[in-house]
Structure 1
């Protein structure tokens, strides 16, 4: 599969500026994410919207090496996360998957297979990966709204150039393939329980993910 890479020539019309998780208990979630070490990257707000099964997205931490993966993984589990995939080596590196007490799935990974240093507790990148039914169509939908494609692997994966102020990169993956990678069934109903900030005006994308205008 060939990869197309686009180098932006101008600023995006809009970009992902925030990720807000909708949770049943914001105080408990705040305590978990503080212990996990990712509270600076996400927002939280109370929500009791119906949601069952796979919510259709994951948040991924990319870090420098296996020791740092283990550090974040252990912190998440100690704070109450459920292990979906224990940390292990793979074709692409080393990583594991957990589900936070609020239901959000997090993947913690590195491309390195051997430790080259101690646990740094530093995050290189956070990626919001949306599971979509048609990657090409959804990619073009976002391009039409002003996002710039950074990488695209045909109809399987696409990621967008992040905004200068964005702590999180936005990417797309086939929903069923994403669920398989995370170790969960692909079926799910109800709210995604996540809201994306950065749009000039609020909208909902073809897969039901909602975008909101930045907070004043």
Structure 2
């Protein structure tokens, strides 16, 4: 396995989720949906992050998501690192939209430059070792705080690891949660479950997007 081929979100109402994602967040073919098989409660331990080129695009994507029914978790604002905001989709998935730029260079286009799946893990170093053993290549690593792997792009998600408590704090939620993560990942190898309970499925088992 060298990268994420697709992500499947488990939702209570696939028709409602499909309608939301058809109009919000500018998603491509790398996201799939299916009916949840197990209960989920509280923080599900991950976020999907969209990187864009300027603040105007952050504002546009967040505004579109809110108009489609998302709930604001962190309002769009400037920070030390740039500009960003956090919303929660009606299905419960948390999305972060951000840019490192602090000024606009033109009108908003809604173009997404990079998609990242951030997993909240108990031990970043241990999880990084695990994923390297599965065939992923480390692109960035900051000790026991954060690790990022190669892959991803405008239409596919890159994998990154963050301490669970730190990720929850960054998103504006508590790290309390129970039940299923409500997400399944597909790579190019055999099925497995990582140390934090995130499930990877064989490509042949992944359903097509509704």
Q: TM-score range by the shorter chain?
A: over 0.9
Instruction: Give the secondary structure class of the aligned counterpart of 2:203.
Output: coil
- Count of residues in correspondence between the two structures: 204
Instruction: Give the secondary structure class of the aligned counterpart of 1:206.
Output: coil
Change (3 A) 1:201 1:147: same
Deviation string 1:168-215 (CA, Å, 9 cap, x unpaired) is 100000000000000000110010000000142111100000000113
TM-score, normalised on structure 2? 0.93
Q: Does 2:109 match 1:108?
A: no
Q: 1:157 and 1:138 mapped to 2: Cα distance?
A: 10
Counterpart in the other structure of 1:57: 46
Moved >4 Å (runs of 4+): 163-166
Q: Does 2:12 match 1:24?
A: yes
Q: 2:47 and 2:134 mapped to 1: Cα distance?
A: 23
**Residue of structure 2 aligned with 1:139, choices 128, 150, 162:** 128
Counterpart in the other structure of 2:61: 72
Q: 1:49 and 1:176 mapped to 2: Cα distance?
A: 23
> What is the Cα deviation at residue 121 of structure 1?
1.1
TM-score, normalised on structure 1? 0.91
| Kept in 2: contact 1:17–1:166 (CA 8 A) | no
**Residue of structure 1 aligned with 2:80, choices 83, 86, 91:** 91
Counterpart in the other structure of 1:128: 117
Counterpart in the other structure of 1:10: none
| Kept in 1: contact 2:114–2:154 (CA 8 A) | no
Q: 2:125 and 2:11 mapped to 1: Cα distance?
A: 31
- Runs (5+) with no aligned partner, structure 2: 206-210
Q: 1:27 and 1:115 mapped to 2: Cα distance?
A: 36
Q: 1:165 and 1:115 mapped to 2: Cα distance?
A: 20
Q: Does 2:190 match 1:201?
A: yes
Q: 1:40 and 1:148 mapped to 2: Cα distance?
A: 23
Q: Does 2:36 match 1:47?
A: yes
| Kept in 2: contact 1:203–1:212 (CA 8 A) | yes
| Kept in 1: contact 2:65–2:89 (CA 8 A) | yes
Change (3 A) 1:166 1:75: closer
Q: 2:80 and 2:182 mapped to 1: Cα distance?
A: 31
The answer to which of 101-110 and 39-48 deviates more is: 39-48
1:148-163 correspondence to structure 2 within 5 Å: 148-162=137-151
- Runs (5+) with no aligned partner, structure 1: 1-12
